[in-house]
Every structure is written in C-alpha cells, then in structure tokens.
Amino acid sequence: MKRNILAGLALGLAGFSWAQQPTISTKYTADPAPYVHGDTIYLYTTHDEDDAENFKMYDWLLYTSTDMVNWQDHGAVASLDDFKWYDGKNGAWAECVVERNGKWYMYCPIHGHGIGVLVADSPYGPFKDPIGKPLVWQKEHWNDIDPSVFIDDDGQAYMYWGNPKLYCALLNEDMISLKSDAMQLHDVPEHYQEGPWFYKRNGKYYLAYASTCCPEGLGYAMSDNALGPWTFKGYVMAPTPRTRGNHPGIIDYRGKSFGFGLNYDLKNISIKEHKERRNVGAFPLSYNADGTIVESPYFQDVKVEPIGTFNPFRKVEAETMAWGYGLKTVKRGIEDIIVTDVNDGEYILLKNVDFGNKMAHKLIVSAASTVGGKAEFHIDGVKGKIIGTATIKSTGGDDKYKEFQTSIAAVGGVHDLYIVFRGAKGKNLFNLDWWKMTGIPANYATLEKVVEDGGTGKYPAVMQEISGLEAHTVFMPKDLSQFNEQNPLPVLVWGNGACTNSPWEHFKFLNEIASHGYLVIATGYFPKEEKPYNGEMSKPEQQIESIDWAIAQNSNKLSPLYGKINTKAICASGMSCGGLQTLYNCADKRISTYMICNSGLFIDPSIAMPNMPMPGKDQLKSVHAPIIYILGGETDIAYNNGMDDFHRIKDVPAFAANYPVGHGGTYRQPHGGEFRFPAVAWLNWQLKGDQEAAKMFKGEKCGLSQRKDWKIEKNQLIDK
C-alpha cells in the first residue's frame, strides 16, 4: 500500500525540479515545529499515516539538519502511547518543543482531549509525561489545539494556542504547570484561524498563524507586548489556489531566516477528496527594516539554498537526504531508522556534498537483502557520472545486515550526490542502514617506494600509487618544491611490454627518467614486487588517461603537482606491445614527442595478436612530432618492424638507435641500464630544449654513435 502511495506520488511529480519539492519525502508530515539548538535545526512534525482519509495521526516525528536541505529522519520521538491518561487511538495534533535548563519540553495537543506535556533530557527523547494529566484541559474542548511556547528574555514562558479562538497562558518556570488561567484573547488578529507561532525578534513580538480558510495562507501580526494587542501585518505566505491548509514555523539559523509550512505537493489527489496526507515544506524568509516580514511566494515558486555543505566522510545514516524518490523510512528496533521500499530506478539525493580536498577512496554500505541489487553513487544528476557502485548481494533476509565495500573514484569539490538503486523490477531490492566514504587527501600516495637509490638524476625520485588514479603507477621527484611554472616537469606516459597492466619490468628505467626531472605516468598497477603481473592486459586508453590526469593535476589547486607540470611537453612512449599502444594513440595532438622501445608496427598485416592494438602502417601518417626508436639490435623480434617504421617516417625528425641486447632491452638492469642514456638525452632535448643533450643525436659523429655498441640511423630532419 505505502509503496503505491509514495512511488505514485513521486511519479506524479515527474516535472518537478528538486528545489520546489517538500522538505520531507519519505513520510507524510504536517505542522512543522522547528527549533534551533547549537548548530542543528530540530524539525518536529506531526505525522499523517500513509492511508489517511482524514486526520489519522498517532505520533510525533523528528528530523534534523545543519544545512536546511539535507534532513535526517529520527522517526517518532513521541506518540499517543506516552500519555497514559489518554486511551484513544487518534489525535496526535500539532506539537511544539522548547528547551529550558537542559530539558526539552514537548507540548502535545490530543484533539478534543486537551494539551499534554512531555519532557526529555535530549532533543531526541525519550520524552516522558511528568504530570500524568493534561496541562491544558478546559472541557471537552475541540479548540484546544496547536500550542506555541516561547520563553521571553525575562524568563517568563508563554503558551498561545487555539482554533478559531485564541488563548494564552503563562507557564511556571518548571514548564510543566500553568502560572495563569487560560486567557482567551478577544482581540484576535485579522484572518486568524489556528496554528499560532509565537516568537520575539529584535524586541518585537510576532504571532504567525494559519489564516482563515479557504484557501489558508500564513498570516502574521506584531505587538510590542507578549500579551498583545496584536496588529495584523499581512502574509508570510499569501493564500493561493494551490494552498489547502497551513501551519507556520519560523526560525533564524546561521544568519538567515526560514519559514516552514505545509502543503499537499507530494500527491495528486483532488481538493474535493481532502485526504489528510500532507507535506512539510520550507522557504527562505526575510524581514524589512521595520521588522515586518517580506511576503514569500508559494512553496513551489521559491528555493531553499543549502547554507552549508554535507560531509560524506563519516557514517551517514541512509535516512539522511534532501529527497528520496519513491522511498520509505521506517523504524528498525528501538532507535534505528532504515530506508526501505527500494525499487529499481529509485534514489536518494543529497545536496551540496563536499568532497573537499579529499579523494573519496572507499565506500561501505550497510544493507540487508533477500534479492540483491546495486547502489550506484552518481554525482550531479541521476544520470551523472558514477563514482562508485556497491553491489549488494543477498544477505539471507531483509533484516540481516552486512557491509558491502567498493572503491570509489576521485571526486573533489562540491557536488549533489544521487544514490541510484538498480535491480530486479517490482521488488524491494534491499533495506539500507547507513553508508560511509573514507577519504584520503587528494593525490595522496597510497603506496610509495624508493626504487634503488632514487635514480642517478639531480632529483631523487619515488614510485607511487596515487589515490584516484586507478591502474596507473607514477614516478616523480620526491621533492617537488624545486618545480614551478619556470621549472616545470615534462611528462612521459608509458605503456608496458606485453601490454601487461603493471610496469613491473620497467620501473627502474622509469624511475631513473623521473630522477632527471620528469613526471612519468606508467600504465598499470603499482608493482609491489619485481615479478610478472598476472591480471588482465592493459588498454591503450590508459595512456590517454595518463595525459588527462597530468593536465588535470597542473590546474588542480588541491594537487601537489599544481602549476608544476609542462603540459606542452609530453612524450608518449612504450615498450613492445606498449610501443604499439603508443602508436595507436599517436594522433593525440597533446603529444610532443614519441619514444618507441623494442617495438614497431607489424609489417605483415595478417598477424593479429589477441588484446594487442594492431594498427596498420598507415597509422604512421598520424605521427606528428619527433620520434625515436630504441631497439635491441637484429636479435630483437621487433627490429624489422621498428626499422621499417623508421624508414617510412619522412615528415618529422626520426632517429633509430640499436643496442645489441635483444627484445628485452636493459630496463631491469640498475637504473634501467644502457637504454637510459639515449632515453634521457632524447627527452632532455625534445622536452626541455637542452642543446647539450641534442648532441647525442645531432651531427655526423653524434654522441650516441660514439657510445660503445650503439648503431644509429636518422633522417635528415634530425640535423636541421
């Protein structure tokens, strides 16, 4: 039944933008009684049952927020059962709550049976009846509803109430007994109907109220005295044809003012039916210089902007949300609340979630399930980017909770978060208790290793696994303080031999390059050991991700690499299959040079190697920057392919260097062995403009030709 009601409702509001929706979406609520204490808004409400045809009200609910848009459901904090002197079943009408001397007092009208009082040591309850009888009992008096209690600066507490008559009484300091009789005010403010909201601001007294039917709006009066006389001042929110009932609550919070009221916007029933399934809504409120209130447009025409951000790096009760599309919240056990009625396509929205200078790293979801399903975490829209998906398997029952963990992509900054549920249609996929992200500082090295002695270059380097950069290994100088816009780090992106998804075979060579002042981003997982990686092969796109990441770091103020990267000096490079990945990506215009190691495009077009990119020789037309081939001599299986590439390249400077070591190269030797000399010199020339380094390649007797055992070839453009 409840499923049909709320899912139907949400669907009925398909054209609604979130900003216009009621504050509470998983239950029908009315009669808002907000109270600010410390940094939190405590929003007490009444509760219309899902199947209410008329007033069907058994308990009083509590919601809390610190930003006015994301609200945590605390469920019922009091109910008719708390009043032992009342043996009826219905009538939990509009309450209000105030705090005095560390105790919380809830004034609860029971329709037709007077006004009771409950007390608690905390705003969350438990609330207990301290007097065992009604606080206000005039007779079987249907007008004794809607108490509003305010404690004046001199310590005197007042209670206003009534419909359509307006009453006031003074309370004793104990807050649970009356100091005066109930006084009927004969000078009732114009348009007064019910739901008084009594408060004081800047020395003036205010009485806001539901204005006379029909439709009802929110009127208000002002006075210089707590007991009046009251002067009608206008509307906080004028009645409109969309209004069908109201009841105000007004607060100041964090330098702003807000009004609350009720509407029927969650459902689509006609006014004639008048079913009492109402919804608390909020709206921004402001005052004129003379203290009068600026009239607010109707709920759907205003927007409450978040006045704070939401921290996801903590245990978040699942019933905390700005909006729950099609969802229900129910009590589990004595204190816990869970989200249930979770169907395919439904979602939780949290506004203004601050991922700050942290990268979300790990996501844990506590859920119970019979059928299983998925919770997709999207940012900025139901169809926005997915940052993580928790797969929730059957736990053996809808009340058996387990924790499900997944990794989550880097986010950073402030976003709206949509937790979208997926699974079999028409079933409650799971019940959700809580979720939690763990965050680590942006670009934090989750693993770090000093390779050998850090390298022979001027800048001892480290090898790192970095949060938010999945399936890549980064090498960079340990001390980044020497790098800036004047002395930026050029970039080398690397693909591995055999397209393996870890640079386990090349890390000494790559670390050595980094030690000469480079940011090296290798495809694949951090090699914890120098032994073959057995997981799935890498993809050429990982090199592009490396380039994207480097460029993003340079403009990310939260990154330690911010402003330290030369994004116009990028070498794409790789060994064997990684060289083919490089040539596969060669058209990328961000690449400023290439270094192809023990590799070359296959001469024989009929050869197809599984999971390896195999572009034809035509691909060389896309090579648009200087290129060097570093090969292992004639015994290198890539020798013929690499030299054939080299001979075909005419339009850009091209150099071929052969060292008689075979296909494996010298990468695993200390500091990457002999291959490091042409590699570092090429990079220094191409990416740093180092003319000394250029001598390794330029001129008739270029440096590399003079090094023992190297054989070189070059096209004419090298010497220009």
What does the alpha-carbon distance between residue 515 and residue 537 come to, in Å, rounded to a whole number? 28
Listed in sequence order, the residues at least 6 apart from 255 whose beta carbon sits closer than 8 Å to its beta carbon are none
611 is written with which tokens? 């999971």
Q: With the C-alpha atoms ordered 169, 171, 172, 173, is the resulting torsion angle positive or negative?
A: negative
Q: Which residue is nearest to ligand FUB (CB)?
A: 94
In the complex with ligand FUB, the residue whose CB is nearer, 115 or 392, is: 115
In the complex with ligand FUB, the residue whose CB is nearer, 185 or 280, is: 280
In the complex with ligand FUB, the residue whose CB is nearer, 79 or 446, is: 79
What does the alpha-carbon distance between residue 530 and residue 513 come to, in Å, rounded to a whole number? 18
In the complex with ligand FUB, the residue whose CB is nearer, 220 or 347, is: 220
Listed in sequence order, the residues at least 6 apart from 146 whose beta carbon sits closer than 8 Å to its beta carbon are 31, 93, 94, 109, 161, 162, 163, 194, 195, 196, 247
3-state secondary structure of 171: strand
3-state secondary structure of 693: helix
What does the alpha-carbon distance between residue 531 and residue 486 come to, in Å, rounded to a whole number? 39
Residue 68 CB, shortest distance to ligand FUB, in Å, is 22
Distances (CA, A) of 706 to 32, 643, 661, 674, 715: 86, 20, 17, 13, 18
Peptide bond preceding 214 in cis form (omega within 30 of 0):
yes
In the complex with ligand FUB, the residue whose CB is nearer, 46 or 553, is: 46
Q: How far is CA 582 from the centre of its chain?
A: 35
In the complex with ligand FUB, the residue whose CB is nearer, 75 or 195, is: 195
In the complex with ligand FUB, the residue whose CB is nearer, 50 or 448, is: 50
3-state secondary structure of 569: strand
659 is written with which tokens? 């060292």
In the complex with ligand FUB, the residue whose CB is nearer, 137 or 287, is: 137
Residue 481 near residue 458, CB atoms below 8 Å: no
452 is written with which tokens? 């050998």
- For helices 676-688 and 507-514, the axis angle rounded to 10 degrees is 40
In the complex with ligand FUB, the residue whose CB is nearer, 94 or 510, is: 94
Residue 218 CB, shortest distance to ligand FUB, in Å, is 11
Reported residue count of the chain is 720
Residue 114 CB, shortest distance to ligand FUB, in Å, is 13
263 is written with which tokens? 């509407």
Distances (CA, A) of 210 to 166, 196, 623: 12, 7, 74
Distances (CA, A) of 313 to 31, 35, 373, 393: 33, 27, 24, 24
In the complex with ligand FUB, the residue whose CB is nearer, 236 or 643, is: 236
Residue 184 CB, shortest distance to ligand FUB, in Å, is 18
Q: How far is CA 193 from the centre of its chain?
A: 43
Residue 218 near residue 232, CB atoms below 8 Å: no
In the complex with ligand FUB, the residue whose CB is nearer, 52 or 558, is: 52
CA-based angle 615:618:620, to the nearest 5? 85
In the complex with ligand FUB, the residue whose CB is nearer, 34 or 613, is: 34
Residue recorded with tokens 């998906």: 389
What does the alpha-carbon distance between residue 317 and residue 339 come to, in Å, rounded to a whole number? 9
What does the alpha-carbon distance between residue 210 and residue 236 come to, in Å, rounded to a whole number? 10
3-state secondary structure of 552: helix
Residue 220 near residue 233, CB atoms below 8 Å: yes
Residues that bind ligand FUB (CB under 6 A): 30-31, 46, 55, 93-94, 145-146, 194-195, 210, 245, 247
In the complex with ligand FUB, the residue whose CB is nearer, 160 or 483, is: 160
- Strand segments, DSSP code E, in 424-575 are 431-441, 445-449, 461-466, 472-477, 489-495, 519-523, 565-575
Q: Provide the β-strand partners of residue 42.
A: 35, 64
What does the alpha-carbon distance between residue 43 and residue 461 come to, in Å, rounded to a whole number? 55
Residue 32 CB, shortest distance to ligand FUB, in Å, is 10
Residue 219 CB, shortest distance to ligand FUB, in Å, is 13
Backbone angles phi, psi at 57, to 5 degrees: -135, 120
In the complex with ligand FUB, the residue whose CB is nearer, 108 or 410, is: 108
